[in-house]
Amino acid sequence: MAKHTLLFLFLTICFGSCKKEADPEYRVPPEVEPYVQAFVKEAKLRGLELKIDNLIVEFAQPDANYICGMCKGPQTRQKHIVLGIQEFCWKEATTQTREGLVFHELAHCYLARLHTSKAFADGTYASLMNPDNTEVYSICLYPIDNGNDCDKRARRQYYIDELFDETTPTPAWAR
Ligand SMILES: [Zn+2]
């Protein structure tokens, strides 16, 4: 009889704690939420229904100062994105750069995308999944002149297309 009681206790404890691990959480800061919603919308526009209800996003100091984001455990049900607290990562970044950063991490977490350094003939990264630049379709923070190089917003369509489909052809602006 004592054995059964112990077993029952053990099972109760296990069920109590194991269940919590299996239930994914959704916890995203309000300033990041619009970009997560935008990602879901862009996915839908390309025929992909994404249900993001298992995501934790938090601002923290990453392992190295130059890192602005990471997707922890892309294989697990609970997705966890850490965004760098360095000012250049978020506070001082443009809307497009913020979106680029969040989209890059979400692509790691939800699209199983890995880094790629593929580039166009002029050396411009051909993917938002490049290892170090999430400003590929951004405007300049401090425009030095009115040159075309300072406003790359027209390139957004291509980079988002490529995010969801790696076989997206080279756009006109890169030919
Ligand atoms: Zn990355």
Owning domain of residue 113: 24-174
Task: Report how far ligand 1's centroid is from the alpha carbon of 168 (Å).
Answer: 20
Query: 13 lies in a domain?
Result: no
Per-residue pLDDT in tens (0 to 9) along the chain, 175 residues: 455 555 555 555 555 555 556 789 999 999 999 999 999 999 999 999 999 999 999 999 988 999 999 999 788 999 999 999 999 999 999 999 999 999 999 999 999 999 999 999 999 999 999 999 999 999 987 666 555 568 999 999 999 999 999 999 999 999 9
- Summarize pLDDT for 25-34 with one digit per residue, the tens: 999 999 999 9
Task: Report how far ligand 1's centroid is from the alpha carbon of 159 (Å).
Answer: 15
Q: What is the CATH number of the domain that holds 111?
A: 3.40.390
Query: 9 lies in a domain?
Result: no
Type and span of the H or E element at 109: helix 95-110
Number of domains in the chain: 1
Task: Report how far ligand 1's centroid is from the alpha carbon of 30 (Å).
Answer: 22
Query: 16 lies in a domain?
Result: no
Query: 93 lies in a domain?
Result: yes
Query: 6 lies in a domain?
Result: no
Task: Report how far ligand 1's centroid is from the alpha carbon of 29 (Å).
Answer: 20
Query: 38 lies in a domain?
Result: yes
Query: 7 lies in a domain?
Result: no
53-74 burial, b at 16+ Cβ within 10 Å, e below that, comes to ebbebebeebeeeeebbbbeeb
